[in-house]
Amino acid sequence: MAKSKSAYSIPGKVGKIERHIIVVWVDNEAGVLARVVGLFSGRGYNIESLAVAEVDKKKHISRITIVTEGTPQVIEQINLQLKKLVPVHKVADFKRGEKDILFRELALFKMLANSKKQDKIKKICKKFNPVVLDKTKKSFVIQVTALRAEIDKLALDLKRLGLISTSRTGSVAMTKGAKIFN
Amino acid sequence: MPKLFTGAEIVFKALEDQKVEYIFGYPGGAVLPIYDELKNHKSIKHILARHEQGAGHAAEGYARSSGKPGILLVTSGPGATNAVTALTDAYMDSVPLVCISGQVPTHLIGTDAFQECDTTGITRPCTKHNWLVKDVNDLARVLHLAFEVATTGRPGPVLVDIPKDIQFKKGKYKFFKNTLKKKINGKATHKISNIELDKFIDLIKKSSKPIFYTGGGVINSGPQASKHLRELVSLTGFPITSTLQGLGAYPGDDLQFLGMLGMHGTFEANNAMHDCDLMINIGARFDDRITGKVDEFSPGSKKIHVDIDPSSIGKNIKVDLAIVSDVSELLKSLIKRFKEKNKNFLNSNKQKTSKWWEQIEKWREKKSLNFINSDKLIKPQHAVQRLYELTKNKDTFITTEVGQHQMWAAQHYKFNKPNRWMTSGGLGTMGYGLPAAIGVQIANPGKLVVDIAGEASVLMTMQEMSTAVQYKLPIKIFILNNEYMGMVRQWQELLHEKNYSESYTAALPDFVKLAESYGCVGMRAKTPDELDEKIKEMVNIDRPVIFDCLVDKAENCFPMIPSGKPHNQMILGPEEEKEISDEGKILV
């Protein structure tokens, strides 16, 4: 008899994990985010970040951008399952590193730092469109926009310089050129 | 100024416009305005269940045997949560249900009011879609959309949650038709291209070891789909096997039919699936009870998959040709195109598949459904066979509970028509069969409806016998009583060193007396020699019957694919299973 003590089949080979950015256009109605997020949790898919806001006030369309990881098979399932949801209008899927797509994430960092340190921090953030939003003698809040990985690295660097609080939006995406998602 | 209606009136106007004849339900505080309105709508009959789960399964039985959506009406809180099992069951087996639930008044939502629960939150993962209606002027649109979502594409359950104040409020009514503009939700709007059809036909022509593997999608596509399937199978001369849910789409007694496949499928069906060079999946979903170990599933075959739900394709098994389509539509176009170019395919191709058929015949000779019969004890397989023989000339409808008896029913009862076989496959809900039989009988008055049951399962929804008696539904509850949760006991015997932990039911009721207390007929068969007469007697009684068939307590369901094994490594019976052979011998 089989060694397995389960009435279920044993897991097969697992494919290579890829990171994808999935953009979903939905009717902005009650519970729609729960439907999308519930699909991910219910089927065991992963959400690394999620950004959502209404983008069309007249038609009440929201745009959700989800960063996720999975095997090609899982990513395909995510796309197909999302398309089955009634309030979902369309779904676009991009592999990380695709050329024609722009990705950006916005982060706010609150630092405990005197003015000397503050200059150093600004220097580190220079490449990432830094904007100082609030400033006191002891602290300041700086806004940057960059790729996810860049913000990851920046947050690490800033830790040494007095970072006490981080807030990030999660990635949003847009195509380059005149083309739009469809 | 358009005429205004109350929310409750709008509910019934929508049901009337959707040509609903029956509602299965149970009243309660938050749904009373709708129940109050019932008296004004004579074309709609309400069937009062004894538990909302029972109402849900009855609605499923109604839907599956009639091809129409089943309607469920329940109150808020416990009414809705009791319906969750039935909704999940319908979701897994693609059964169209429209569940209308009452909710506490809008101003009380979120306050933990009496009998309040987050119904749309709870049912979100077990419905295709659900709605909480907060504006009475939305109600008509939502209700008609609900019917459309439930019945189009891959069918399934939906739920409309209506707060009590909305049921009282007045609003406009309009009949919305085809409100669902979305084309992608597994809808049958996909145009089948000739390129796809030609690829399909090309694969058919190249194959020397083909097999059709068909599922519930054929049934859901309507009776036409079964007709087309029969035509295609006879045009090609290929062998065909079916999933549990697909039984009846192709005649069970036909020579080209290899029987059911999967964990408890026949030796020939599973071996043919493993060794084929072309697998034509029509309306099945490569479920884990079918594939076994995915990596070793039919390693040498090209695979075609036809499914109305795009997310079913490539979910478990990668395929070579994927066609998103309604089964009936596809088969119709395929047959037309196939006939145009391949006039004498059956004869010209005979040579090519003759070795394959020889091999299949060798597998068939194993007679994998055989069992060692007894003249002292009723063997459960024997009981199902006798039931089949004595009812096959009637247009019989069979429902089942879940467990060994369900598999024996699938193996030994042969179905010749679609919509005659109602069983809980995906969710595997014990307690499904009895209420489902009620729904089947409502949809098919005058027909013979038998629930092949196990004594453990049937006790889970036994209260619904009261419903059967109230509405004079002559359903037959045929219990294969072995005093065990048989399938649990079987797994414990084979995998857990015969530690029969909690799988024996002590203190079972006397089913004959139980039947009498419900006001129906109780019968019991103890030995094989009295079985036939008793079954005949049961069939002739025009009242609900509980038939307590005492069967061999230790019988196991074979053949089976043990977990983690591919299709060509089946256990055929106790003689192959050394560990249990001694005990097996003593018992026969």
Domains annotated for chain B, with CATH where assigned, are 5-171 (3.40.50.970), 194-365 (3.40.50.1220), 380-557 (3.40.50.970)
Determine contact, residues B379/B214, Cβ cutoff 8 Å. no
B306 vs A127: CA distance, rounded Å: 52
**Shortest CB distance from A9 goes to which of B128, B293, B309?**
B293
Q: For the segment B16-33, what is each residue's pLDDT rounded down to a tens digit? A: 999 999 999 999 999 999
Give the residue range(s) of CATH 3.30.70.1150 domains in chain A.
101-174
Residue B444: left (phi > 0), alpha (psi -120 to 50), or beta? beta
Residues of chain B in contact with residue A71, where contact means CB-CB under 8 angstroms, are none
Residue B415: per-residue pLDDT: 97
Residue A45: left (phi > 0), alpha (psi -120 to 50), or beta? beta
Cβ-based neighbour number of residue A165 at 10 Å: 11
More confident residue, B552 or A13: B552
Tell me the shortest Cα–Cα distance from A90 to chain B, in angstroms: 9
Longest CA span, chain B: 83
A148 vs B270: CA distance, rounded Å: 49
Q: Do A4 and B579 touch (CB under 8 A)?
A: no
For chain A, positions 43-72, list CB contacts with chain B under 8 A: none
Determine contact, residues A90/A124, Cβ cutoff 8 Å. no
Cβ–Cβ contact A42 with B under 8 A: yes
Choose from B12-21, B178-187, B487-496 the range with maximum mean pLDDT: B12-21
pLDDT at B575 > cutoff 70: no
A177 CB-side CA count, 13 A: 5
Name the packing angle between helices B433-443 and B52-66 (round to 10°): 50
Cβ–Cβ contact A76 with B under 8 A: yes
CB pairs under 8 A between A and B: 78
Residue B576: per-residue pLDDT: 62
B73 CB-side CA count, 13 A: 28
**Shortest CB distance from B563 goes to which of A6, A42, A73?**
A6
* All residues at 6 or more sequence positions from A49 whose CB lies less than 8 Å from its CB, including other chains: A65, A66, A67, A105, A148, A168, A170, A171
Determine contact, residues B86/B94, Cβ cutoff 8 Å. no
Parallel, antiparallel, or unpaired: how do β-strands B22-25 and B45-48 relate?
Answer: parallel
A104-125: average pLDDT: 92
B361-365: average pLDDT: 96
Q: Against a cut of 0.90, is the pTM above it?
A: yes
Tokens of B569: 């490594």
A72 vs A55: CA distance, rounded Å: 29
For A18-95, which CATH class? alpha beta
Determine contact, residues B63/B20, Cβ cutoff 8 Å. no
More confident residue, B310 or A96: B310
Tell me the shortest Cα–Cα distance from B562 to chain A, in angstroms: 6
B551 vs B527: CA distance, rounded Å: 8
Tell me the shortest Cα–Cα distance from A26 to chain B, in angstroms: 12
Determine contact, residues B225/B242, Cβ cutoff 8 Å. no
B402 CB-side CA count, 13 A: 14
Cβ–Cβ contact A14 with B under 8 A: no
Q: Do A31 and B562 touch (CB under 8 A)?
A: no
* All residues at 6 or more sequence positions from B321 whose CB lies less than 8 Å from its CB, including other chains: B196, B199, B200, B203, B302, B303, B304, B305
Give the residue range(s) of CATH 3.30.70.260 domains in chain A.
18-95
Q: Do A7 and B182 touch (CB under 8 A)?
A: no
More confident residue, A83 or B583: A83
Q: Which helix (H) or strand (E) holds B296?
A: none
Q: Which helix (H) or strand (E) holds B556?
A: none
Q: Do B310 and A30 touch (CB under 8 A)?
A: no
Q: For the segment A120-170, what is each residue's pLDDT rounded down to a tens digit? A: 999 999 999 999 999 998 999 999 999 999 999 999 999 999 999 999 999
Q: For the segment B292-330, what is each residue's pLDDT rounded down to a tens digit? A: 888 889 999 999 999 999 999 989 999 999 999 999 999
CA B353 remoteness from chain centre: 33
Determine contact, residues B165/B106, Cβ cutoff 8 Å. yes
Tell me the shortest Cα–Cα distance from B440 to chain A, in angstroms: 30
Residues of B with CB under 8 A from a CB of A: 120-121, 124-125, 128-129, 132, 149, 180, 182, 184-186, 288, 291-295, 309-311, 314-315, 318, 491, 494-496, 562-565, 571, 577, 579
Residue B337: per-residue pLDDT: 95
* Residue closest to B86 by CA, chosen among B22, B144, B156, B148: B156
CA B176 remoteness from chain centre: 30
pLDDT at B8 > cutoff 80: yes
| Type of residue at B151 | T
* All residues at 6 or more sequence positions from B78 whose CB lies less than 8 Å from its CB, including other chains: B28, B52, B115, B117
For A101-174, which CATH class? alpha beta
Determine contact, residues B15/B185, Cβ cutoff 8 Å. no
Determine contact, residues B531/B450, Cβ cutoff 8 Å. no
Cβ–Cβ contact A84 with B under 8 A: yes
Confidence band for B189, pLDDT divided at 50, 70 and 90? low
Q: Do B132 and A85 touch (CB under 8 A)?
A: no
Residues of chain A in contact with residue B562, where contact means CB-CB under 8 angstroms, are 1-2, 4
Residue B305: left (phi > 0), alpha (psi -120 to 50), or beta? beta
B423 vs B400: CA distance, rounded Å: 5
A149 vs A139: CA distance, rounded Å: 25
Range B210-239 burial, b when 16+ CB lie within 10 A, else e: bbbbbbbbbbbbeeebbebbbbbbebbbbb
More confident residue, B462 or A16: B462
Confidence band for A102, pLDDT divided at 50, 70 and 90? very high
Residue B582: per-residue pLDDT: 41
Residue B186: per-residue pLDDT: 46
Residue A4: per-residue pLDDT: 60
Q: For the segment B235-269, what is each residue's pLDDT rounded down to a tens digit? A: 999 999 999 999 999 999 999 999 999 999 999 99
Determine contact, residues B155/B93, Cβ cutoff 8 Å. no
Alpha helices in chain A (DSSP H): 32-42, 72-84, 115-125, 148-159
Instruction: Output the CA angle A31-A34-A39, nearest 5 degrees.
Output: 135
